[in-house]
Structures are given as C-alpha cells and as structure tokens.
Amino acid sequence: MPVVSLTSDIGQQDYLIGAIKGQLLSVNLSLNIVDITHYLSSTNYPQAAYICKSAFIHFPKDSLHIILLNVFENNARRMLLCQLNDQFIVAPDNGMLTMIAAVKPDKVVEIDTSKDHTLLEITKTIAAILPKLQKTEGMVSVGRNALQIVEKYPLRPTIGANWMEGQILFIDHFENVIINISREEFEEHRKGRSFKLVFKRNEVIDTIHDNYASVQESEKLAFFNSAGYLEIAINKGNMAGLFGLQGFNERVNAHNPMVPNKWFYQTVRVFFE
C-alpha cells in the first residue's frame, strides 16, 4: 500500500495535518501521502462525497483513503474501514461510506478507537493498521465486522416523462456550478430529444458543449465535467455569483430551536422536447 490519501475538514492553518502525516510516515517511511483537500464542509456530506468519489477513482489499486470529516459528530468509539473498487477507505461512522459508494459496502470492519479521546489519538490508531492491511489477510486482521453502520445516501435527480430536476451539488473555485445529473442519466432520459436547461431568472441553455473554447467570452455554456456531472458556467465569468446560485444551505428554525435544522437545495430543471 504505497499510496495514502488524506481528506478532511481540518484546514491547514495549524499543525494537525503535518502531525498526521508524521504518524503515517512513522509506520512506513516509503508511503506516498497525497492531500485531496482539507477544506471540506463539516456538514455538507453530498459535497464531500462528490469530491472524494471523483478523486478516489483515479488512484491505483490498494490505495488507502483516510477521510476525517466531522469525526466527533457521533461518539467516536470507532472508525470504519471498507474496500471499494479495489481501494480501501477509512471514515467515521457518520454516513460518509454510503454517501461515496451509493450503497452499503459488502464488508465493513470497525477500527476500535474507544480509548482515543483526541483526533491525533484516533489517527495514530488508524496509522497502526497499515501493516495489517499489507498482509494477505487484509481487512480481516484489522477488526471485527461492523454489522450496523450509519447510512446516508446521495441525492438523486427527480425524473418526469419530459423533464428532470437536479440539485446544485458543488460550486468550484471559479464559481462554476456542478449539478447532480450524470451524463448517463441525462442521455437515458433525453432519448435523443432536444432540451432546455432552465435555472434562476429563467435563464436557458439548450446545447451541451465540449469545453470553454466552444463559446465566446462571457457566454453561458453547459458541459459534462471530468467527473461526468452536468456543469454550467460562463466563459471567463462567474456563473454562481452572477446569477445568485448557491449550493446547500442549512436553515435554522428561529421560532423553535428544538426543531432540527433542514437543508435546502437550489435546483436546475431540464425540459425535453
């Protein structure tokens, strides 16, 4: 297992990420440690799953991906380990595994962290499993089967006979807007028909382009990005900012603080003709 990736909501303003890398290297100096991002939203699981899934598929077989997202959301008595697409993923028991896999993995084992009270104690325990994963018995030697885990699943587009509605999944650094409609889903429901993609202020896009070079500067475009999801953008412009598009927003019930907060999603509709 020469490659280990780190993904977290920790940020990089302090020593923690460096300390975690030091723990991993103390176990195996030959590790190639890759940072995916340390700026995940601790509450926006669909966005975190999109980032992780889109990155993990490009890693070599037997890579280990460590996800440190909202580690202390629940009682952090265990971390979970699963194997997905010939790679290993370690994550808290908070729904991230099923958000990434979109199903419950066939086999999940638990890493006992019941004696760990801080993040670095937990990551030290995770680092200690690396030699076990490299052995032939792999996951069997790490811990016992986790029969019940927290399950959360990604949002799916809403489908009608002549339309489909997706949610804004992610807004990138350039304020391009990614929608949770995959190329496969789009083409399956399009059936060769023409379409109109409609979003805020009744803006319309009716063509799928290859890339930014397909349109003039300041022109709107839609395309399928490297992860295979529908993306809308402006050539040399800021789509989200110009049209007031936003990702997931948590709304707090100001009248009754006992009512759980809810997530609200801006949507984009596609009409087929």
Domain spanning 3-141, CATH class: alpha beta
SS (H, E, C) the chain: CCEEEEEECCCCCCCHHHHHHHHHHHHCCCCEEEEEECCCCCCCHHHHHHHHHHHHCCCCCCCEEEEECCCCCCCCCEEEEEEECCEEEEEECCCHHHHHHCCCCCCEEEEECCCCCCHHHHHHHHHCCHHHHHCCCHHHHCCCECCCCCCCCCCCCEECCCEEEEEEEEECCCCCEEEEEEHHHHHHHHCCCCEEEEEHHHEEECCECCCHHHCCCCCEEEEECCCCEEEEEECCCCHHHHHCCCCCEEECCCCCCCCCCEEECCEEEEEEC
pLDDT digits (tens, 9 = 90+) for 120-173: 999 999 999 998 887 766 787 888 899 899 999 988 899 999 999 999 999 999
What's the average model confidence in pLDDT over 225-253?
A: 84
Q: Residue 246 has what pLDDT?
A: 81
At residue 119, does pLDDT exceed 60?
yes
In the block, residue with structure tokens 């109109």: 196
Higher-pLDDT residue of 111, 74: 111
Q: Do domains 3-141 and 158-272 have the same CATH topology?
A: no
Could you state, in order of their start, the residue ranges of all structural domains in the chain? 3-141, 158-272
Highest mean pLDDT among 69-83, 135-149, 168-182, 236-250: 168-182
Do 123 and 20 form a contact (C-beta atoms < 8 A)? yes
Q: Residue 252 has what pLDDT?
A: 45
Question: How would residue 73 be classed by pLDDT, with cut points 50, 70 and 90?
Answer: confident
Q: Residue 61 has what pLDDT?
A: 93
| CB under 8 A, 24+ apart: contacts of 261-265 | 265/155, 265/167, 265/168
pLDDT digits (tens, 9 = 90+) for 247-265: 766 544 455 555 555 556 7
Predicted TM-score of the model (pTM)? 0.88
What's the average model confidence in pLDDT over 83-93?
A: 94
Domain spanning 158-272, CATH class: mainly beta
